[in-house]
Structure 1
Amino acid sequence: MSIPGQQGPTGRPVPRATTVVPAGEWRPIGISDLEPAAWEALRDTGNVAVVAGPGAGKTEFLAQRAAYLLQTGICPWPQRILAISFKKDAAANLDRRVASRVPEHAGRFASMTFDAFTKSLVDRFAAALPADWQMGDGYEIRTATKPEVGQFLNDLAFSAPAALSGQLGFQPGRFLPDVVGGWHLPERLPTGDEVDAVTYAVREWWHARYLRAGTAEVDFVMLNRLAELLVRAVPRLRRALRMTYPVVFVDEFQDTTSAQFSFLTSVFGEKTAVTAVGDSKQRIMGWAGALPEALHRFTDAFGATSYALTWNFRSSDALVELQHVIASKLEPTTVRATSMATAEVGHEPAVLWTFSRSDREATFIADWIARDIAASGRMPSDFALIARQTIKEFEPLFRARLAAHGIRVRNDDARLGKMTLQDLLKSETARLLLGLLRLANEPQGLVKVWRDVSATMERVHGATDDDRARHRVGKNLADLTTQLRTWLRDHPAATTSAADTVKQVVGLLDSAALRRYLKSAVLGEDFDIALEAFEARLQAASDGTAEWGDVLDEFEGANAVVLLTAHRSKGLEYHTVFFLGIHARQWWAYANDRREGTSTFFVGLSRAAHRLIFTTDRTDRTGPISDLFTMLTEAGVPEIDHG
């Protein structure tokens, strides 16, 4: 039975590494040492829960644990480690980290998102689903909107059996993650009206979306439930998964949903060593169904040993102290982290700036950033502008004020069709197309870009382990960039549409091979959606820009001040963070869930390595929003009024 990720990226068997390091002689790779708790967790070969706060180096810990288990033979060849993350960039980052630490074992480390893993199981083994759950004409991924769910529930209440009257008052925002996600699909679909309210509602949902004529519509919650049913209904598949992956890592465990926890328990609850890494203080996905106390539930269900990492490699000691004040509001017993970062002198590590007008705020901060860059030699990408949620209200002013200093702004939350800019820039499709355009526009001095594009093309054409095939791909790439260079020369950026440019680049590629590669190896990436987003971004970058090099720089925004929400900032770090909009307009939902609101506050402020500047206005600070100001006061954060 072929398991997702069982073979290397070329589809060939993973080669065996011959050297085994005795466990007692193993040392960390690429770093000098680990903190004592990390050593204990790393050597524990059972189920492990690791509490890792901001800056704790959880990606590095997981990479070192993978290296330890693979190099010592505790995870023996040909078995593999499965690493599950919640974001594609986190999965890719961990994959790269392990490959750099133990390249000889990289083929035995499978890093992917939860959604990609469950989708791959359904795609490969859908034919083994029980008869009642067979698809008639395939499926498409489509997430129902909140109004659509609300309409379904309203219709359901009117058509339900009399025995269920008054029992179907489900909340539209919670129905999918909690009710659909918490229901185990039975092998035989319940029939008739002799069912409870939950069973009736979920059954009708599946009938309306999945068990219907034509193409089924599913979201990732439903794919998760189908995957769990598959593994439960096909014992041979579950045995194969456990044999293939005796070790499983789950990152950001505090964001685990009911469906994901159920799947993990069903598939890997026995005969697998599971490492869960997370921090309940950073639980900011409750709105999407994240379980309360997920790490505690894991510890209980899996009999795991818990370890807490207390070193902070990101933030200076003063910022760690501020983080501890906020963390203590979420978990009174939390242990203060120890800063391992070198502190800078000559500036206030944390401060609250007050402004009377938004234009005054943007002008002051833009001037301040420009002066700091000129004095320090820092790059614009060292600075982040973070807000609670409505980023778009900040973008026009900050873009204009920073542009006056020749500084770009990149709004990572900007929507481009069905993708955000942050997701587009990390997509395989965008990196390939952008790389080809850069190589065509600038034929010299882009060695890294050439390597990256060439490596992607080799994977697309299955040439990674064949020297002759690799040579052929290299020659084809050279010919392609030459043709594209001529086209760019004849089509100036100022007068050429993004649609024509994208059409030209894609036309030079074997798009069928590219689609097959993305579908099989880059799970979760839709080529058409990425292409639409790429074209939209290229068009925006081309407006008013004369040179192709400037267009590509604007597209990528690599050297720009980043503007993003606190949610999207998770996992990132910057030298200086401006946490904008500490007022009721940005934090209007704080009263609905103060704990999650405080966690969002904690996530945003903990992105800063050396300087953290909060901004506010002169509006009312009473009511629930007063909590945030009280915490800043308790942490000793001074306030300066800038008029």
Structure 2
Amino acid sequence: MSATQARGVSAPIAVEAWRPSGIEDLEPAAWAALRDTGSVAVVAGPGAGKSEFLAQRATYLLQTATCPSPRRLLAISFKRDAAANLARRVAARVPEHADRFDSMTFDAFTKGLVDRFAPALPQDWRMTDGYDISYAKPREIQDFLNSIAAAAPAALRWPVASIQPGRFAADILGRYDLPETLPSDSQADAISYAARQWWQARYLRPGTAQLDFVMLNRLAELLVRAVPKLRRALRMTYPFVFVDELQDTTSAQFSFLQAVFGEETTVTAVGDSNQRIMGWAGALPEAAARFTEAFGATRHTLTWNFRSSDALVELQHIIATKLDPNAPRATSKATAEDAHDPAALWTFSSQAREAAFLADWIARDIADSNRQPSDFALIARQKIKEFEPSFRMHLGTHGIRVRNDDARVGTMTLQDLLKSETARLLLGLLRLADQPHGLATIWRDVTGTLERVHGAADDEAAQYRVGEALTQATTQLRSWLRSNPPSTTHAADVLRQTLSLVDADAVRRYARSMPNGENFDLVAEAFEERLAAVIDAHTDWRDVFDEFESADAVVLLTAHRSKGLEYHTVAFLGIHQEQWWAYGRDRREGTSTFFVGLSRAAHRLIFTTDHNDRSGPISDLFSMLTQAGVPETDHG
């Protein structure tokens, strides 16, 4: 028996014999991109299966030994949930190779490099007392700019004073390459001067440094530039690199990517310029073209849409051509539904009337179909919390929950809390204690997390000990829950009791060391706050935990936060001046936000508006809907 077979890894599959895993087939353009031996830029619109394509390409590279052991694959995503989703997809398709697939965010990757190799930084940039993650507020940045402008050389005072605080991180810090040796002269342009002063104030000082992720990115770029052995090691470890959501990549992230993997590495980048909605945070314009040139990549365009019906794909195409007149026409591969209009514009006299009508309509639709509340999303451009009270009240009369994914819990959003591995571990422990049978999936998830916490993934004896400890912990927690009903128990006591039954210090270390590292204390704080918000409304622990998670709720979220998600029915709320007041400032990004929100719908899309003025820049949105043939109905 070979060593490969002993590890449970199958012999490599011949390239020409390889077939997709978990799906029937790929579209021709996806096949071409998957088999391309060089770097590729894959342009794919909404519903094209960008994550699925990356998962299949990873499976192909691993199963055919195109990426042979012990070499690894690195996938870099913009958001933590996208990184986690891609890791799960690959693990499901090639569990025997999952340990060679590293999926993380740009921020996690650069932070990990700095944490591991900070002592190798050039002498002038070595930390003396570690660092804390710290985000400066706009007012703090403005005060800083005012201060350094007053002290700047005369020729720089006005340029420095003209820097916009909101663009400082992206345009100044993100575009400044740290010199290996600090300059001894004072000559500099405004960008270099402002960046140097910021680094001096936050990093090059006695005591603990204050860093945000843009600064960590710049330190990581300096590391790989100044330490050629590290760059060579990264390229040898990762001969293949994936970049998801290329259109959201910032200047700092792109320059880092090029510095590390610009040579000797095959890079696959996937994105859609029409969904570029992070320009305010420094996302590069024309990222695909820049990537193609910098990496010598071949461009492939995917045109199959697996999410939306024909009518909605046609609507999306009309909006896409406003962003790119040459946008290719996608082909729907989704199963169409004929029982309803695919898109409509509904007009209401007030927000209260809108909420009451939509709540009744959603309740009837659920009653008349096999759909669940979680099949419906209420999306808005901004100010989503203003919609929550009325929808919560009116949907509540039908026994339907609302979950505001943009709601703040501690320092996190509810969406981020519910996706946190630490939070899922805590909630899983509580659910297993309350309901000892019928939760096999949760048991596997909790066990898997605890095995990783204790380093037991490849040790059967250690896995057995983890299972025994979990059984004991849930038994003790079950007894405690039965003695402490929700009506008389504080959320802080629930959290304290749960943490007392696990090795909290080990969980804290694990959370910090994850590729997409979590701050255990911030997650615990948010978890307690969320639990406190739902505990008093119920007398049964199962109902408390159901309300905590609200997995069966109608979701309320902004268009930005909806990116990458999909729902059977989307109601795009508030197509009016109050929501879209800033549309005229950047029509392209505003149209991209509109495009992202409406393209979440698989089968049915409702736009809502009021009777107010539709003139000015916002008239563009209504013109698009008219051009798409979206009918309007006044519901009073």
> Are positions 1:376 and 2:369 aligned together?
yes
Among candidates 516, 521, 542, match of residue 509 of structure 2: 516
The aligned counterpart of 1:323 is 316
Distance 1:329 1:15 in 2: 53
Q: CA deviation at 1:521?
A: 2.5
The aligned counterpart of 1:533 is 526
Q: Please give the residue correspondences for 1:122-137 in structure 2 after superposition, counting only pairs within 5 Å.
A: 122-137=114-129
Q: Please give the residue correspondences for 1:95-244 in structure 2 after superposition, counting only pairs within 5 Å.
A: 95-168=87-160, 169-244=162-237
Amino acid of the structure 2 residue aligned with 1:94: L
The aligned counterpart of 1:75 is 67
Amino acid of the structure 2 residue aligned with 1:255: D
Range that drifts further, 188-197 or 346-355: 188-197
Distance 2:210 2:124 in 1: 16
Amino acid of the structure 2 residue aligned with 1:618: H
Q: Do the aligned partners of 2:376 and 2:570 also contact (CA within 8 Å) in 1?
A: yes
Q: CA deviation at 1:303?
A: 1.1
Unaligned runs of 5+ in 1: 1-13
The aligned counterpart of 2:34 is 42
The aligned counterpart of 1:488 is 481
Distance 2:478 2:627 in 1: 59
Distance 2:320 2:9 in 1: 43
The aligned counterpart of 1:465 is 458
Deviations 1:114-160 (A, max 9, x none): 10000000000000001111111100111111111111111111111
Using the aligned pairs only, state the percent identity.
71
> Are positions 1:298 and 2:298 aligned together?
no
Distance 1:552 1:25 in 2: 47
Distance 1:343 1:114 in 2: 37
The aligned counterpart of 2:438 is 445
Amino acid of the structure 1 residue aligned with 2:39: N
The aligned counterpart of 1:251 is 244
Q: CA deviation at 1:104?
A: 1.4
> Are positions 1:359 and 2:352 aligned together?
yes
Q: Give the SS at the match of 2:61.
A: helix
Q: CA deviation at 1:524?
A: 2.6
Amino acid of the structure 2 residue aligned with 1:305: T
Among candidates 310, 313, 328, match of residue 306 of structure 2: 313
Range that drifts further, 26-35 or 227-236: 26-35
Among candidates 282, 290, 314, match of residue 289 of structure 1: 282
Deviations 1:86-119 (A, max 9, x none): 1111001100101111111111111001100000
Deviations 1:190-245 (A, max 9, x none): 23422222111100000111111211111000000000000000000000000000
Deviations 1:423-454 (A, max 9, x none): 00010111000000001111111111111111
TM-score, scaled to structure 2: 0.98
Q: CA deviation at 1:18?
A: 4.8
Amino acid of the structure 2 residue aligned with 1:595: R
Deviations 1:170-196 (A, max 9, x none): 111111111110010000112342222
Q: Do the aligned partners of 1:120 and 1:523 also contact (CA within 8 Å) in 2?
A: no
Q: Kindly report the root-mean-square deviation, in angstroms, between the aligned alpha carbons of the 2 structures.
A: 1.1
Q: CA deviation at 1:16?
A: 8.2
Distance 1:545 1:191 in 2: 66
The aligned counterpart of 1:620 is 613
Amino acid of the structure 1 residue aligned with 2:88: R
Q: Give the SS at the match of 1:165.
A: helix
Amino acid of the structure 2 residue aligned with 1:269: G
Q: Give the SS at the match of 1:423.
A: helix
Q: Do the aligned partners of 1:348 and 1:611 also contact (CA within 8 Å) in 2?
A: yes
Q: Do the aligned partners of 2:202 and 2:210 also contact (CA within 8 Å) in 1?
A: yes
Q: CA deviation at 1:543?
A: 2.7
Distance 2:131 2:394 in 1: 47
Amino acid of the structure 2 residue aligned with 1:72: T
Q: Do the aligned partners of 2:103 and 2:515 also contact (CA within 8 Å) in 1?
A: no
The aligned counterpart of 1:474 is 467
Amino acid of the structure 1 residue aligned with 2:435: E
Distance 2:100 2:384 in 1: 41
Amino acid of the structure 2 residue aligned with 1:68: Y
Range that drifts further, 565-574 or 455-464: 455-464
Among candidates 6, 9, 18, match of residue 26 of structure 1: 18
The aligned counterpart of 2:410 is 417
Range that drifts further, 163-172 or 576-585: 163-172
Deviations 1:575-627 (A, max 9, x none): 00000000010011111100000000000000000000000001110001100
Q: Give the SS at the match of 1:610.
A: strand
Distance 1:477 1:191 in 2: 59
The aligned counterpart of 1:57 is 49
Unaligned runs of 5+ in 2: 1-5
Among candidates 78, 93, 105, match of residue 85 of structure 2: 93
Q: Do the aligned partners of 2:570 and 2:600 also contact (CA within 8 Å) in 1?
A: yes
Distance 2:75 2:613 in 1: 46
Q: Do the aligned partners of 1:115 and 1:524 also contact (CA within 8 Å) in 2?
A: no
Q: CA deviation at 1:522?
A: 4.5
Q: Do the aligned partners of 1:254 and 1:282 also contact (CA within 8 Å) in 2?
A: yes
Q: Do the aligned partners of 1:16 and 1:78 also contact (CA within 8 Å) in 2?
A: no
Amino acid of the structure 2 residue aligned with 1:356: S
The aligned counterpart of 1:395 is 388
Range that drifts further, 97-106 or 40-49: 97-106
Q: CA deviation at 1:25?
A: 1.1
Distance 2:157 2:339 in 1: 68
Among candidates 324, 334, 338, match of residue 341 of structure 1: 334
Distance 2:378 2:511 in 1: 33
Range that drifts further, 494-503 or 364-373: 494-503
Distance 1:302 1:467 in 2: 44
Among candidates 547, 565, 570, match of residue 563 of structure 2: 570
Deviations 1:60-94 (A, max 9, x none): 11111111111112111110110000111100110
The aligned counterpart of 1:560 is 553
Q: Give the SS at the match of 1:166.
A: helix
Q: Give the SS at the match of 2:617.
A: helix
Q: CA deviation at 1:310?
A: 0.1
Q: Give the SS at the match of 1:555.
A: helix
